[in-house]
Amino acid sequence: MVWLTLGTAALVAVAIIVIGILYVATPRTATRSFGLPLPEDGTNIAWWLRLKGVRDIASGLTLLAFIAWGVPYAVGLILLVETVIPVGDMLLVLAAKGSARTAFGVHGLTAVAMVLAAIPMMMGVA
């Protein structure tokens, strides 16, 4: 069970780092997969989108650091706290009348996977 939960946590961490890198490198392209329409054109839009990328990279690296540290309870706690991100993303996409399919299928499923990996680690099962 430990490998499944830590593997899920590592997969989430690497995925969010990759998404962050995409937002930094190609912000407009990355935005298309988020579930919201592209922001209006402006000289600073790409820079605002890159801010999301930097934060995604930091979130993923935080989780990887705790995985490397080897404390399953702490990994579970960080993973559970960071579940706020995909839940918030899902709710924002739905509130903005964006793609419900993306809101539930990407952001919602990510949140569920994170919670399912976090709980066993926090309970000492993993």
Give the CA distances from residue 112 to residues 38, 50, 80, 83, in Å, rounded to whole numbers and listed in that order.
Answer: 26, 26, 10, 8
Q: Quick check: helix, strand or coil at residue 46? A: helix
Question: With pLDDT > 90 as the criterion, what percentage of the chain qualifies?
Answer: 66
Structural domain spans, the chain: 2-122
Q: How far is CA 10 from CA 29, 49, 52, 81, 122, in A?
A: 25, 24, 20, 15, 16
User: What's the pLDDT score for residue 1?
Assistant: 66
Report pLDDT digits (tens) over 93-123. 999 999 999 999 999 999 999 999 999 999 9
Which residue did the predictor score with more confidence, 105 or 72? Answer: 105
- Is residue 125 within 8 Å of residue 1, measured between CB atoms? yes
* pTM of the shown model: 0.83
| pLDDT tens sequence across 21-50 | 999 999 988 888 888 887 777 778 888 889
Distance CA 110, CA 97 (A): 20
